[in-house]
Structure formats: C-alpha cells, structure tokens
Chains A and B, each alone.
Chain A
Amino acid sequence: MSEANRFSLDGKPVEFQPGDTIMDAALRAGNYIPHLCHNPEFEPHGSCRVCMVAVNGREVSACTWPAAPGLEVESASETIRQQRRSLVQMLFVEGNHLCPACELSGACQLQAVAYYTGMLDPHFTHQFPRRAVDASHPDIAIDFNRCILCELCVRASRDVDNKSVFALSGRGIGSHLIINSPSGRLADSDFAATDKAAQVCPVGAILHKRRAYRVPIGERLYDRQPIDIVGDVAAQDEQNHDG
C-alpha cells in the first residue's frame, strides 16, 4: 500500500481504506481506541466523545473523523487519557452506576473503559437521578439508571429491526430514552429479545432476563482481559450471556 493510504497513529503508520474513519482504520489494524457509542456495525455517532484523539494538534472524535493521508493522530498521550477519564467519570456521575450491584459487572463496556482510562473514583459530584426501571417485558428489563444515551438501541431498532422501539426525548441533562408504545412501557411495544437492539447495549441498561449470572462474576469478558485486548462486548455477546 502506498504512502497515500496511511496516517500516523502515535507515531506508527496505519493503513486505511477509502471511506474509513480514523476509528475504522485503527480498529482494523488492531489499535484500540476506547469508545462507547461507537459500534462498527452502525453509522458513526460521535456523542460519547470517549474516542477523542488529537489530529494534527486538534481534538476530534476518532469515530467520526475521516482518515486522510499523512494525518498525525495522537491517541496515547496523557492529556488525552485524562480527557477520556473525565468523560467516563461524567457518565458515571450522570446516571446511577453501581458496579458491585450490577448484573453486567465484568461484561460492561463503561466499566471496562473506566479501567482502561485509569479511573479510580467518580471525581465529580453524583447527580443521583431518580429513574424508574421498566421490567414489564417478559424477556427484557430496562434499567434506565445505567443508560448512557449512546443511542445504539435507537439506531439498531430503527435501522436493523425496522421497529423504532426507542427514541430520545428531553434535552440537556434531562435527555432520556423513551419507548415507542402507547403506555411508554416496553411490554406494550413490539420489542423482542431477539431484536438487534437487544444485543447492542454497551452497559447494563438493556438486560436479558434469566441470563444474568450464567457466567459468574469473576469469569466474565473483562474480568479475564482488558478491553483494549478483547474489544467490544457486543461483538462477543454469545460468549458473555450464554457461555
């Protein structure tokens, strides 16, 4: 491959294909850039901002920025690591993320990225929002306390399942996930546990009932290896939930 199809990531050359973002090319080449709202199966979103990198000195989200020849991309610097850590800390204090009590602990991307960025405490003031849990559906429960508004379920349900079960409402800190049914409850929607939207949640917000502890805590994906080695939980869903 010619020079024309390469950029530099932390000083190492990375090859890219036409149409690639920095994230696409980096992941294909085996270079992990942390991310939460990004899933290679979907259009780039750019909302969590955890994949911030410096491109020629300017900070951009790797998942949305087009790869181009000769770019100098910095991902491993201490400044960027701190930024990512702060962003993850913000997500932690925004919702109610109580890892020891969460059935997804060990298989949660938020928790794994927190470890990856070296987060040891929430740093910011907890907002402790009051959010009801929707356990109405026979196979799926939604714990809105853990929703990080990545919109992967929104996108999967709309673009893959053709159901549009989810949408966001509100704005600012009041942004929240809503369900497309007359009552607003999941049981009254046409959601099914086999939907793509049920397989893409990077955190413990969309939960499959009766599967929570099939893999014991301590033996889960990120209990065994860090996220920069094993990658996204959605890509390994079978292994985690049914293993």
Chain B
Amino acid sequence: MKSLANIAGCVDDIMATCGDHPELLVQYLCRIQWRYNCIPPEAIELLAVRLGLPVAHIRGVIGFYAFLHETPRGDFNILISDSITDQMLGSRALLDRLCRQLGVQAGVARADGRVTVDTTSCTGMCDQGPALLVNGFALTRLDVARVDAVAALVEAGTPVQDWPAAFFAVEDNIRRRDRLLNAPRSTDGALRLFLQQGADAMLETIDRSGLRGRGGAGFRTASKWRFCRQAPGGRRYVVCNADEGEPGTFKDRVLLNSFADEVFEGMTLCAGITGAQQGFLYLRGEYRYLLEALESVLARRRSAGLLGRDILGRQGFDFDIAIHMGAGAYVCGEESALIESLEGKRGIPRKRPPFPVTRGLRQQPTVVNNVETLFAATCIARFGADWFRASGTEQSTGTKLLSVSGDCVRPGIYEYPLGVTVGQVIEDCGAEHAQAVQLAGAAGTIIPRDEFDTRISYEDVDTGGAFMVFGPERDLLDMVRNFVHFFAHESCGFCTPCRVGGTLLKNLVDKVYAGRAGEYDLQKIRDICRLMRDTSHCGLGSATPNPVMSTLEKVPSIYRRRLCTSDYEPAFDLEAELEEARRITGRDDSGAHIGRET
C-alpha cells in the first residue's frame, strides 16, 4: 500500500505549485489522488482548514468525480475503457483475463492493496483500443500478450514509469488531411495578423468564415465571441473545452498532441478580441498523459512572447493560460458544468439563462470553445474567411475532423469538407460491409446502411465528430445497452428525469436484452425517453434517449426479436427471486420452483 506519510507536506507542495484558492479544489484533489491513490481523511481535513471549506463540501466533490476516491484504490489502479468500440475489440474478455491473472474482482482493491481493476467510460483511444488507464496514464492496443505483461509488471511491483514505453504509445492516426490539417504550420501567424488588422477586422473574418462550434452544438463562433466582448462585466475568460468525453471522439486528443500551438493561439486570438486576460484549458482526466507536453508548449509560448504580458510587444495585450484537469465526469463537457468544475465544485450544469458569454466563470463573461473550434479559428485568421468557406456547404462551412472507429480497416482521424456523405467516409475507412454508423457518439443517432447518403453537416445530421462503424455481425442492441449504461453512470444526478429516468431506462433496456420484456415495456421505454428529452435540466439528460429513440425508429427489429410474446412481464424474475427462500429452507425440489410443479 502506498505510504500515507507526509500528507501535510504533500498538500503544501501542491498548493505551492498550483496556487492557494478554494477554486483549485479539484486540482488539489487530483494531485492528492495521483500521489496516494485516494484522498486520505487527513488531507480532507487539511484542505477544509486551509481553504475554509466544509468537510462535507469536499467529500461531496470527491464523491462526484469518478477518478477521486476516499477509499484507497490499489497501488496500480487499472481502468479498462468500456466504450462500445473497446468492447467490440474484446475489452471485456481482456478485463476478465486480467482479473483472473491478478486474482481480483472488478472494482474491488486486492486485499494486499496492490491493484484495482475496473472499467471506465470511453478513454478516447477508440482507434487503437482496447485501451486502459493505469494510474491515470493511457495504455493502448491491449491484447492477450499485453494483458499478461501488465499482470506480470503489477505482480513484480514495477513502477508504471518503468513499464515499456511502447505500451503507452498513442498514435495520431491521421488518415485524411484537408485544408486545416494540411495548412503550413506556424506558432504565431494568426496573432501577428490580428495585431496588424485589429480586433474588429479579425472578428469580421471569423464571422464571414461561418465557423460554428465543433463540439456538436454548432453555435456560431463569432457570435459567441461578440456576445462576450459586448457583455457588461469586469474580467473576461476564455476556456478551451478539452473534456472530450463523447464516446467515440478522439480528434481533440490528436489536436492537443500535434497542434497544441494552434489551439493555444486560437485562445489567445479570442482573448485579444474579447479582452480576456486569463484562459483555461480544461483537460479531461483521461488525457493526463498530455499534461506535461502541453505545459511545455505553454512555457515555450510564454518565453516567445506569445503569452503573458504585452504579447508580441503590444502594450496591454496580456493573456495567459492555465491547464485544469478534469477527474472523470462526462457532464463536464457541458460548458456550464465545466465552469462549475473550474471553480472547484461538483460539475452540475447551471440553469440557463444566463449563458456563460454573459455570466460564466466567476460570474464574468466567458467564452467556452471546443478544441477544434479554436484550432479552426487560428487557421481562418491566417488564411482568411474565403479560404475556409471554399470547403463545405452554405450553412456548414469549412471542414470537420471525424473520429472514425469500430469495424473498419483504417480507424483514425479524417478531415472532410462538411457535407460529405456517410457513404464516402465508409468507403475511405474500409468498411464496405457496415450495417450502420452511430454518428455523434452516445448522444447521437444511428445511420443504417440504407441512409448512407446522409450528409454530415449542420443542415442534415450534425456531429461532434464521432463516427462509429458497426459491421454486419454486430447486434446494435449491444451498442444501445452500452450507451444507456454510460449515461446512467454519467448523469450528474441533479434533475429527476435524468437521475431516475436514466436508471429506469437502463434497467428496461437490460430487460429487453435479457429477453424478458413485452410490448408494454417498449411503450414504457418510449414514455421515459420522451420525458427525459422534454424535461431534463441539461443536454445530457435530453440526449440520453437519442440512441434508444433513433434505434427504436430505424432498427426496431433489434428490440422486437427479443420480446417475449406476452404483453406484460413483471420487472422481476419470480423464479430467481425464490432463490433466497430456497437457500434458507434448503429446498430444491420441483415444488420450490415456478412452473416445475408436477
């Protein structure tokens, strides 16, 4: 077990590194978790005193995030990605094998405290899965040999930093480049043009480009920047949303790995236009392995005069960026939940209005943009609105990065002009026999084969970029089940329909899957879906029904073929419920079983 020595010293160190403010609570907790594999009670008490926060508040924050724990995890905390694409690559069998080899039960730390093996939501390695996180670091391309090697390293107690580097290799897998990924590289081209042209002209360029948010919501980027710029308020903030949690999406991982300068430059450009002086990159916990590299890009930009005071010599152009870690919460990809998390709190989406552009971080005007949006903005600033508009359609200008995974020969990143057909992508990625594509991740919609002429665009079917391919042998109900389990796990729990409805929906889909549902259950599923869609507090709750409703509509057979004939089936299995009574009475005769009486 990890030594719990010197907790006070550790807290002191962390506060010295990160700063000393209650808003940094999640950042402190992440680092304490990294160090001790749990948040020890002494650390909670120390933080409570140092930050002036109630102990229950801190415990509530720990309880919210999947990667923070009050009870110790093993010294080796192994989390296997449970995304549907990882499952399709055999992750569950590998999980079982790893558990068997290590003699652990999934989710329970081994008695000697050496190891915990568990599942986690999509880790964003769908193009090179099955993947896992070991003590927060991504390990890719699991197979039997690699699982056996992992088990041996754990048993030998080899520190993770001494494991073979090849295990942690994360490839970009860029398969198709278009104008954004092909653009000549630069670290400051956009900022230099901004300083020449001025904020108004640059905002006009972004506006004319027609760029819309690449996270999935599709709000016009220039409008967001303008609203923030014009909003009354003192300080302004720019936040880059790198909480890429949508299952099947991994484009931001690639951009942060290989195009971080452009992303940070986009934030700086936004700051120049809106007047923000502070920016944050909110990096999902799963991308912990990128942290040091991103910090060094920031350091390089500071020393090059691209961040800090008087950027590129322009007096009064002050802006800097801090990286905040997420800690395992999909809902923090919702911009107001992300802001709550940045403020050190549970990631509960705020009520809207007001929107972050008028009252965001610290109640000040805040722009929250997706990684790809900021990357595109930098390119637009450099090459102009017309250059960008030359690709795409009228309402959906430019190109979009797609994260292609699942049953295809060439999974990876594909940059296409918006308006590309699903069929074109299918052809390019090598998936000619695909029966369906799930577009836009768990919150998206199913595109069956006969709709492959669908165009990916804001006019037709919108996406944040996830493109999961399902081959002819797949049972799409496995996918639906995976997604409803995911949403139930990721619901923040704030509002009734998502908190309760999400679990009821999950249980009903499981009932269908088990072959124990009737027509009445399908009706109930539809009713819950409608209620969640119409009454949820935020987009997570209202999107949870999407995979269910779209498959019920387009591929109803995946449900129908599993229905039992009766109209109504109770939620419980009466025969199974009698097991406890049989055990107590020691009976196993035919009279102790339903339907076996002779």
List A residues at the B interface (Cβ < 8 Å).
44, 46-50, 52, 59, 61, 64, 66, 83, 86-87, 90-91, 93-94, 124-125, 127, 149, 164-175, 178-182
> Known contacts A169-B62, A173-B488; is A87 also within 8 Å of B531 by CB?
yes
Q: Pick the residue among A44, A59, A66, A172 that contacts B499 (CB under 8 A).
A: A172
The chain B residue with its CB closest to the CB of A52 is B535
> Measured between alpha carbons, how far is A179 from B346 in the docked complex, in Å?
16
The chain B residue with its CB closest to the CB of A43 is B351
> Measured between alpha carbons, how far is A174 from B62 in the docked complex, in Å?
13
> Known contacts A83-B535, A86-B531, A172-B489; is A167 also within 8 Å of B57 by CB?
yes
Q: Is the CB of A167 within 8 A of B500?
A: no
Kindly state whether residue B193 has any CB partner on chain A within 8 Å: no
> Known contacts A172-B489, A172-B490; is A49 also within 8 Å of B535 by CB?
yes
Kindly state whether residue B157 has any CB partner on chain A within 8 Å: no
Binds A, one of B404-412, B502-510, B558-566: B502-510
> Known contacts A167-B54, A167-B56, A180-B55; is A172 also within 8 Å of B488 by CB?
yes
Q: Pick the residue among A83, A125, A172, A180 that contacts B56 (CB under 8 A).
A: A180
Q: Pick the residue among B59, B492, B531 that contacts A171 (CB under 8 A).
A: B492
Please, could you name 8 A-B residue pairs with CB atoms under 8 Å apart, sorted by A?
A: A47-B537, A49-B497, A59-B535, A61-B351, A93-B500, A173-B500, A180-B54, A180-B56
Kindly state whether residue B247 has any CB partner on chain A within 8 Å: no
> Measured between alpha carbons, how far is A124 from B511 in the docked complex, in Å?
14
**Interface size of B as a range:** 35 or more
Q: Nearest Cβ in chain A — how far from B82, in angstroms?
A: 15
Q: Nearest Cβ in chain A — how far from B354, in angstroms?
A: 10
- For window 527-554 of B, CB contacts with A under 8 Å fall at 527-528, 531, 534-537
The chain B residue with its CB closest to the CB of A86 is B531
> Measured between alpha carbons, how far is A44 from B350 in the docked complex, in Å?
11
> Measured between alpha carbons, how far is A178 from B346 in the docked complex, in Å?
14
Q: Pick the residue among B54, B346, B504 that contacts A90 (CB under 8 A).
A: B504
The chain A residue with its CB closest to the CB of B506 is A173
Chain B residues lying within 8 Å of A48, measured Cβ to Cβ, are 495-496
Q: Is the CB of B59 within 8 A of A167?
A: yes
Q: Is the CB of B492 within 8 A of A64?
A: no
Q: Is the CB of B351 within 8 A of A44?
A: yes
Q: Is the CB of A172 within 8 A of B351?
A: no
> Known contacts A47-B495, A149-B493; is A172 also within 8 Å of B503 by CB?
yes
The list of the 4 closest CB pairs from A to B, nearest first, reads: A169-B63, A175-B493, A180-B56, A167-B56
A149, A164, A173 pick with most chain B CB within 10 angstroms: A173
Chain B residues lying within 8 Å of A124, measured Cβ to Cβ, are 500, 504, 524
B329, B499, B500, B571 pick with most chain A CB within 10 angstroms: B500
The chain B residue with its CB closest to the CB of A63 is B351
B56, B346, B531 pick with most chain A CB within 10 angstroms: B56
Q: Is the CB of A83 within 8 A of B534?
A: yes
Q: Is the CB of A46 within 8 A of B495?
A: yes
The chain B residue with its CB closest to the CB of A151 is B494
Kindly state whether residue B64 has any CB partner on chain A within 8 Å: yes
Kindly state whether residue B37 has any CB partner on chain A within 8 Å: no
Chain A residues lying within 8 Å of B527, measured Cβ to Cβ, are 86
Q: Nearest Cβ in chain B — how far from A38, in angstroms?
A: 12
Kindly state whether residue B353 has any CB partner on chain A within 8 Å: yes
Q: Nearest Cβ in chain A — how far from B211, in angstroms?
A: 27
Q: Is the CB of A169 within 8 A of B60?
A: yes
